[in-house]
Amino acid sequence: MAKKKKLKIAIQGIATSFHEVAALTYFNEPIETVECLSFHQLCESLKNGTSDYAVMAIENSIAGSILPNYFLLQDYHFNIIGELYLPIHMNLLVLPGTKLSDIKTIESHPMAIRQCTEFLHALNGVEIRESDDTALSAKRVKELKLKNTAAIANEFAAKKYGLQILEKRIETHKKNFTRFLVLAKRSNGKIESNKASLCFEVANEVGSLADALTTFKNNSINLTKIQSIPIIGRPSEYSIHIDVEWKRRKSYDTAMHEIMRQVKNLNVLGEYKKAKVEYK
């Protein structure tokens, strides 16, 4: 009997990064992660077929939306087939035996740093340095034997690289999570959906956006997120990204039929199943 081929999942970062944890959690089966040090590389991996799916962070409950990723969603025209809310716990990792007073530099991904601002602001004389990935920062501390540098990363990175967790759960708010999107080159028609991500443009006139959003309200469609993205080369014009949820598919279909007459360049980025938010 032929052995089942592992799915290749593009992630931002390296092994033990939060993206890998999200990919393993979502697919819940043995997978092969394709490590990408930028979100652009992640999209190129999916586009070129070196990965079957991609997992991309889109927002964090402390740091907010990752705006550049909305531009990538527009540019690459991938299909969102799922989402995941992953609890995020940040830890300060150091070489064994290092004390807090020894640390001169702390490095991590910019989003991780933003999630730990309260802890970091309380430190004196410590340089905060941005890197491409949380797990990569942990790997650098280990491989380069950086006695005066700490990394902000998760406990899996601490175990993999043999680092000591000097301070646990240093995120500013303990109910911290990141929302990840699962991307594919084409739609999976088998998914039983109750949520969708859309983007569109509206006329630069009084009430045009309000009229469009009222259409969803009138059809009992719940609006869970709205994000405006500047349209490059067209000052004062924006692409509107929204997430909507429904209980009856017919209500969503009716709303979409009506909204097509109210907006321009309507694009359904994906229809998928709503994920649960479970704090840990």
Is residue 34 in some structural domain?
yes
73 and 180 assigned to the same domain: yes
DSSP category for residue 156: H
Is residue 1 in some structural domain?
no
Q: Which residues of the chain have pLDDT under 70?
A: 1-3, 190, 280
180 and 59 assigned to the same domain: yes
pLDDT value, residue 280: 66
pLDDT value, residue 5: 86
Closest CA to 178 of 150, 154, 151: 154
pLDDT value, residue 207: 87
Is residue 211 in some structural domain?
yes
26 and 72 assigned to the same domain: yes
pLDDT value, residue 186: 86
Is residue 2 in some structural domain?
no
Strand partners, 57: 180
pLDDT in tens, 169-222: 999 998 999 999 999 998 877 678 999 999 999 988 888 999 999 999 999 999
75 and 110 assigned to the same domain: no
48 and 180 assigned to the same domain: yes
pLDDT value, residue 96: 97
180 and 71 assigned to the same domain: yes
Give the domain range for residue 62: 7-88+176-184
Domain of 232, CATH number, reads 3.30.70.260
Domain of 68, CATH number, reads 3.40.190.10
pLDDT value, residue 2: 54
Number of domains forming the structure of the chain = 3
Distance separating alpha carbons of residues 20 and 37, to the nearest angstrom:
12
Is residue 42 in some structural domain?
yes
65 and 200 assigned to the same domain: no
pLDDT value, residue 187: 80
> How distant, in Å, are the alpha carbons of 120, 147, 169 from that of 123?
5, 17, 16
pLDDT value, residue 236: 81
pLDDT value, residue 232: 86
71 and 98 assigned to the same domain: no
pLDDT value, residue 162: 97
25 and 160 assigned to the same domain: no
Q: Which two tokens stand for residue 167?
A: 């301070």
